């Protein structure tokens, strides 16, 4: 599985947008970019995923660079409940890689200040 | 619809004791997974089951065994617990196939302390 690099921590003010970056310079053409987050003392939860085009859902937006070597998770208005560890994960959906395994890195710890 | 449930929520063991962590999902998912998370670290895959009747090793399988009892249940067994197995254990499940099916749903975790 290709590797991702994220900052260890970030801070944001409540009700301001947050941009969480992820570098994945070794991404392959069949890797999807997935984001999960883990709230304190809970299991991870799915946030969003994409392949090439930018994606939006009720939780967040995913902006993918044209060369796909980086992406950014955007929380449009951070709330205190968004304080969590955010994981950027690459998933290969082809061949033997499509077993659903997720390879977690250390993620980015987001602090939201009131 | 309870999603993914895990029992127990918390357990203390002495070195050498055995125990089984239980996981069940009610979403009719085919694939199930066991992860462990050590303090300050991301999750690491222990074992997974792509479908009922199959199991495969993940990154850190040593010291563990698993059983896919039926489509709903996937248990993790520690035969002889060691302090290095002190961790939080998460079970997850997902539908099989395609990008739509790649969302994993996680349980609340079991906190295990081995003395």
Inter-chain touch B31–A103, beta carbons under 8 Å: no
Least confident of A100-104, B10-14, B98-102, B110-114: B98-102
Asked if pLDDT for residue A82 goes beyond 80, the answer is: yes
Inter-chain touch A99–B104, beta carbons under 8 Å: no
What does the pLDDT look like over A16-51, one tens digit per residue? 999 999 999 988 888 889 999 999 989 999 999 998
Given B44, B101, B106, which is nearest A43 (Cβ)?
B106
B85 and A CB contact within 8 Å: no
Distance from CA of A12 to the nearest CA of B (A): 21
Contact B63, B82 (CB under 8 A): yes
A4, A100, A107: which to substitute to probe chain B, counting the most B Cβ within 10 Å? A100
Tell me the percentage of chain B whose pLDDT exceeds 70.
94
**Residues A50, A61: Cα–Cα separation, whole Å:** 10
């Amino acid at each position: 599985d290709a590797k991702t690099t994220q900052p260890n921590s970030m801070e944001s003010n409540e009700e301001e947008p947050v941009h969480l970056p992820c570098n994945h310079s070794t991404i392959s053409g069949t890797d999807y970019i997935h984001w999960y987050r883990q709230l304190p003392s809970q299991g991870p939860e799915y946030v969003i995923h994409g392949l090439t085009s930018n994606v939006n859902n009720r939780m967040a937006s995913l902006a993918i660079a044209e060369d796909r070597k980086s992406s950014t998770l955007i929380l449009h208005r951070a709330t205190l409940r968004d304080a969590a560890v955010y994981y950027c994960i690459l998933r290969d959906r082809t061949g033997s890689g499509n077993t659903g395994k997720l390879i977690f890195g250390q993620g980015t710890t987001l602090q939201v200040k009131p | 619809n309870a999603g993914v449930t895990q029992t127990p929520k918390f357990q203390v063991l002495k070195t050498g004791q055995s125990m089984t962590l239980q996981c069940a999902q009610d979403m009719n998912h085919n694939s199930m997974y066991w992860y462990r998370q050590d303090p300050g670290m991301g999750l690491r895959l222990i074992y997974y089951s792509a479908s009922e009747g199959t199991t495969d090793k993940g990154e850190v399988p040593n010291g563990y065994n698993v059983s896919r009892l039926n489509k709903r249940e996937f248990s993790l067994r520690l035969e002889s617990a060691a302090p290095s197995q002190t961790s939080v254990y998460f079970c997850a499940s997902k539908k099989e196939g395609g990008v739509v099916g790649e969302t994993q749903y996680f349980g609340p975790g079991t906190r295990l302390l081995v003395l």
